[in-house]
Amino acid sequence: MSKKNSQSFPRCALCKGVINILGKSYVMGATGRMACRNCLETSFHILEEVVGPEEETVSAPAQSVTPQHIIRELDKSIIGQEQAKSAVALAVWKQMLRADGDNAVPRTNLLLYGPSGCGKTAIIREAAKIAGLPFLTVDATGITETGYRGKNAADIVTDLLAGFKDHPHVRHAIIFIDEVDKLSAHGADWRQAYCQGTQHALLKLVEGMEVTAEGMAINTTDLLFLFGGAFGRMQDVQRPADPIGFVRDEQSYPIAVRCTAEDFCAYGMERELMGRIGRFVPVEQLTTEQMKRILTESSLSAFVKYKKFFRSHKVRLKLSGELAEQLAREAVAQGTGARGLDGAVEALVQPLLYALAEGKLSGSVTLGGNAYGCTT
């Protein structure tokens, strides 16, 4: 085949080899670019080496997983929040025992309270993953009392079965109800009635009811319920002379020290619902140093994930200490928590992804200099 004729054939965007379109051993992207079968298989094997095989969702025997093991695994992705990790690890471990048939172990429902973006959801989600238990997150603001338009409390179980019906431990799943502080019964009379009704619906769910969906009946007393919320006005409802509540450290970050059921009732939560919660666990405001560690060390960090991705393409991605400090300080100042770090990393990496796709990136790349600067 002449050079002129070969140039008329479509080529692989990765290896630049000629693609036999009649053989159909290729894929075409939305932009019309093609990749040959050989490159696709090579990319798959590289990703498998970097990311590793997909983990099994079925838990190991409870005897081989201890609370200490769960905490050690959480330490790989969660920076700080030692008290929250300890409480969640113990509650999840007990739920594992219950899933394995030890009904003598009581469940411990928890309420995690503290600023948004400080790891409440991540701690519970990762602990459930380590234990191999089904995990469902529910936004409390989307729940209504039966008879109102919207999703009622029993629909939570319906959603659980829709996603995990075939899971062997679906009857002992972990349900995380977030933003529960938004249900505090304060304000206009209609809002108080609505929030109280929704809390009563959640109370029935936690106390125990049988819900049938997807051809399966679930008794909710077997489920573990964990609640979360910022409770940003907590310091306003506590007694000034009482040391329980929120204090400030040397950097003036509000840190939740210890709250009781009485404090949450004063906030607007129903006493009966708070009485079904075994522990109230504070989640502290993250410091600048912790933010830096999350950015550069946590396995959940977007930067850490992108480092692995670029390494699979033979590019070393680095982050300057100055920029890491800047991003951490901005996240703390803006109150976005760890979520703000991922958004900043996405903006930084975007031009590099374009360059990588065009084959114009190689060697080592250091993010730094300014918010969107990099050196190669």
Distance CA 86, CA 90 (A): 6
Angle (CA) 307-308-311 rounded to 5° is: 85
| Ordered domains of the chain (ranges, CATH) | 3-51 (no CATH), 62-285 (3.40.50.300), 291-375 (1.10.8.60)
pLDDT tens, residue by residue, 166-188: 999 999 999 999 999 999 877 66
Burial class (CB in 10 A: 0-12, 13-18, 19+), 136: buried
Distance CA 193, CA 179 (A): 18
- Angle, to 10 degrees, between the axis of helix 67-74 and the axis of helix 120-131? 130
Burial class (CB in 10 A: 0-12, 13-18, 19+), 300: middle
Looking at residue 149, its pLDDT comes to: 63
35 - beta bridge partners? 27
φ and ψ at 339, to 5 degrees? -60, -35
Looking at residue 246, its pLDDT comes to: 43
Dig out the tokens for 253 from the structure. 């970050």
Looking at residue 240, its pLDDT comes to: 44
Dig out the tokens for 190 from the structure. 């209609």
Distance CA 165, CA 214 (A): 8
Please name the residue that has the structure tokens 């995690």: 112
Residue 114, SS3?
Answer: coil
Could you tell me the sign of the dihedral formed by the alpha carbons of 130, 131, 136, 139, in that order? Answer: negative
Dig out the tokens for 314 from the structure. 């033979």
- Strand segments, DSSP code E, in the chain are 26-28, 34-36, 110-113, 135-139, 143-144, 151-152, 174-178, 210-213, 216-219, 224-229, 245-248, 254-258, 279-282, 315-319, 363-367, 374-375
Share of the chain above pLDDT 90, in %: 57
φ and ψ at 356, to 5 degrees? -65, -40
Could you tell me the sign of the dihedral formed by the alpha carbons of 293, 294, 298, 304, in that order? Answer: negative
Looking at residue 105, its pLDDT comes to: 93
pLDDT tens, residue by residue, 306-347: 999 999 999 999 999 999 999 999 999 888 888 889 999 999
Looking at residue 254, its pLDDT comes to: 45
Looking at residue 103, its pLDDT comes to: 86
Could you tell me if 177 and 120 are in contact, meaning their C-beta atoms sit under 8 angstroms apart? no
Stated pTM of the model: 0.74
Residue 200, SS3?
Answer: helix
Residues of the chain whose pLDDT is less than 70?
Answer: 1-9, 19-33, 37, 40-63, 145-150, 187-188, 190, 235-257, 369-376
